[in-house]
Chains A and B, each alone.
Chain A
Amino acid sequence: MLYFIEQLLNGVQLGMLLFLLAAGLTLIFGIMDLVNLAHGSLYMLGAYFAATFAAFTGSFVLGAILALAATFVSGVVLEVIAIRPLYGRSHLDHLLGTFGLLLFFNELVRLVWGPAGMTLSLPSEMLTAVQIIPGMYYPAYRLVIIAATLAVAALLYILVMRTRLGMLIRAGASNREMVGALGVNIKLLYTLVFGLGAALAGFAGLMQAPILTVQIGMGENILILAFVVIIIGGIGSIRGAFVASIIVGLIDTIGRAFLPDLLRAVLNTDAALTLAPALSSMSIYMLMAGILVFRPEGLFPAASK
């Protein structure tokens, strides 16, 4: 039982990270109708900035704050220079344009930071497991990730549902032309939303950096999962992204944790060992396929949010 709870926590923790990425992706898609393949690059930039600033200041927290600001600024600059010309064009143009940006950022990082990758070290008191219920230990840093992401999710909720900016964001998502016609500076709104998405991606990257280390192309695999999340959750819906992130995180982790043992009951050890990782990674895509067949709008269609 304790073991099962521990695996649930692992799933939730993965889900939390996916949410940070998916939230920005879904905001940008929902409001600007832009498919952003370069979102993973901002995740990577966040991690590289954090590793650099943390080494420079000697403090993990200070490095993280500086990195968050730097990723926001990078997002804003990127939007103004490269993303603006893409609005209103076809999704194929978005894919090509942002895929180009993805390659550009990988090479840029290679030039600036070198090919070897970096490490963002945790303070030594984080290198331990804490006892959360008697007999059950959980890595301290992964608890920090869960807590920090929940806090960000709450802030995001307040921002979108309780502030004037959030109102504009929601209005922009449901009717872009009308918002523009009412005299709202839609260009500025787009830039801010893109910057916010970038900061969220950067936050995901820097939180993940101590676990997965910092390397070129680190955002690419996880970006695919983030796209799966927003398709399951419903494109443009933050609430959908939150629920779908946790579902995807749980399915992935539970599959990895329990499938090998289940398969071993029916197959020999070798076959079960080889098959289990493949099956558990497929399970997420099978869920997505099911959602696309039975609820093509996703679990929380944006219109009903």
Chain B
Amino acid sequence: MLALVASPAMAQQKTVKIGFISTFSGPAAAIGNDMRNSFELGLDHLGRKIGGLPVEVIYEDDEIKPEVGVQKTQKLIESDHVDFIVGYIWSNVLLASLKPLVDSKTMTVVTNAGASQLAGEQCSPYVFSTSWNNDQTPAAIGTYMNQKGVKTAFLMGPNYAAGKDMLNGVQTTFKGQIVGQELTRWPDQLDFSAELSKARAAKPDAIFAFYPGGAGVQFVTQYAQSGLKGQIPLYTAFTIDDLSLPRLKDLAVGVPGAQEWVNDLPNDANKKFVADFKAKYKTTPSFYGAQTYDAVSLIDSAVTAVKGDLSNKEGMRKEMEKADFKSVRGNFRFGNNHIPIQNFYLQDADKTADGGYALHTVSLIVKDDQDKFHDKCPMK
């Protein structure tokens, strides 16, 4: 905007207005900041221009509350008249906000939340995801648990849309027996003593846990304190990431997790993203950031294809469906429901030479995985 004011020659030019919804207050602000930093870095890499047009980003805080998220979404659509909306960490916030997004046909790029409804019956021509559907990541770890010969498992997650999707996701691939499952109060329950006692009493071969954000730190810490670490192995999805690792340190080492992106994936786009992120922000980006960085490239490809004509939503949609950009996870394609068909990797943490900790890729668990809900999506 400043550039606009500064040079009268550009006064005729349009700007690309992007509304960005994430969490910027409370403990989960760490996630929101990582996403914002990655988005800003993506814009830096494009010379602060999208499809050749200057960019204005309006950041809004959802406070992890569905009712706040929908209100901020409506504000961005109705009073800011944004061209794109990007973000959404939480499935329940996304589900609440989906109706105004779809009704207004706002071009939307969801960069984390993977509610199964979005992949299925509530899919929309103008809504894309640069993340995954909730069932994919736990399904990948379920596959890995089969490989490790796990026969019985105890499942735990928080009681909201994503928690239920994740627990169901493990069961789509895991062939053993589920000896117990628990959903805990979200987001206020941080003490899992009663549930861990239950897991101990159920004597499973393995525990699966999904605890995103700060709750992951609490869960893994309490799992270690309960003395279960040596007895019942833990398998995770979205519980240990680059944001929680500096706080978990040794407790995270040897706890496997599945992820579609790891900071050491050896493609050029990723090397540039991670190196520049580290240089600019002095910390490692997380998968939340990687997915958000991809959103910049995806939007840029669409605006470039329609030569800056932001009213040509049909043209932008067609271009975005090609996923014709260099993703930091390696290239992927979109399914009919606009959810990526992509690889999932096994990741683990270890100590680095400088005394810190880092996540690294162990192996590929599943190649070109597609979610199980795409059949329910009416789009072809």
Using a CB–CB cutoff of 8 Å, the interface residues on chain A facing chain B are 3, 6-7, 10, 13-14, 115-119, 121-122, 126-129, 137, 139-142, 210-213, 215-218, 221, 253, 256-257, 260, 269-270, 273-274, 276-278, 280-281
Contacts and interface: CB of A to CB of B under 8 A. Distances in A.
Contacts of B189: 277, 281
Interface stretch (B213-221, B272-280, B326-334): B213-221
Interface stretch (B76-84, B95-103, B224-232, B313-321): B224-232
Contacts of B71: none
Contacts of A277: 159, 183-185, 189
A214 to B, nearest CB: 9
Interface string B186-198: 0011110111011
Given A10-B193, A213-B247, A260-B182, A137 B27 contact: no
B200 A217 contact: no
A142 B159 contact: no
B33 interface: yes
Given A119-B221, A213-B247, 13 more contacts: A10-B197, A14-B193, A115-B29, A117-B214, A121-B249, A127-B224, A127-B227, A128-B225, A139-B193, A213-B190, A276-B183, A277-B185, A278-B159
A108 to B, nearest CB: 15
Nearest to A3: B201
B26 interface: yes
Contacts of B53: none
B172 interface: no
A212 B247 CA distance: 12
Interface string B160-177: 000010000000000000
B30 interface: yes
Given A139-B225, A211-B225, A216-B27, A273 B193 contact: no
Contact of B198 (A122, A126, A257): A257
Nearest to B229: A127
Interface of B: 26-27, 29-30, 33, 159, 164, 181-185, 188-191, 193-195, 197-198, 200-201, 214, 217-218, 221-222, 224-229, 243, 247-249
Nearest to B182: A260
A274 B193 contact: no
Contacts of A217: 26-27
B191 A274 contact: no
A256 B190 CA distance: 13
Given A115-B30, A221-B188, A277-B185, A139 B221 contact: no
A215 B29 CA distance: 11
Contacts of B218: 211-213
A277 to B, nearest CB: 5
B247 A139 contact: no
Contacts of B194: 7, 10, 253, 256-257
B197 A257 contact: yes
Contact of B227 (A139, A212, A218): A139
Contact of B193 (A13, A140, A216, A281): A13
B304 to A, nearest CB: 35
A127 B225 contact: yes
B207 to A, nearest CB: 15
23 contacts: A3-B197, A3-B198, A3-B201, A10-B193, A14-B193, A127-B224, A128-B225, A128-B227, A129-B228, A139-B193, A139-B226, A140-B225, A142-B225, A213-B221, A217-B27, A221-B188, A253-B193, A256-B195, A257-B198, A270-B164, A273-B159, A273-B182, A281-B189
The 3 A-B pairs of least Cβ separation, nearest first, read: A129-B227, A215-B27, A10-B193
A185 to B, nearest CB: 41
Q: Which of B30, B193, B228, B243 has the most CB of A within 10 A?
A: B193
Contacts of A210: 221, 225
A122 B185 CA distance: 26
B364 to A, nearest CB: 31
Contacts of A273: 159, 164, 181-183
A7 B196 CA distance: 10
Contact of A119 (B30, B200, B247): B247
Contacts of A253: 193-194
Contact of B243 (A116, A128, A129, A270): A116
Nearest to A14: B191
Contacts of B164: 270, 273-274
Contacts of B27: 115, 117, 215-218
B197 A6 contact: yes
Given A7-B194, A117-B30, A256-B195, A281 B214 contact: no
Contacts of A218: 27
Contacts of A127: 224-225, 227, 229
Contacts of A256: 184, 194-195
A212 B184 contact: no
A213 B193 contact: no
B193 A122 contact: no
Nearest to B195: A256
Contacts of B191: 14, 211-212
Contacts of A274: 159, 164, 183
Nearest to A220: B188
A122 B225 contact: yes
A137 B200 contact: yes
B178 to A, nearest CB: 10
B197 A212 contact: no
Nearest to B224: A127
A146 to B, nearest CB: 12
A253 B193 CA distance: 8
Contacts of B197: 3, 6-7, 10, 257
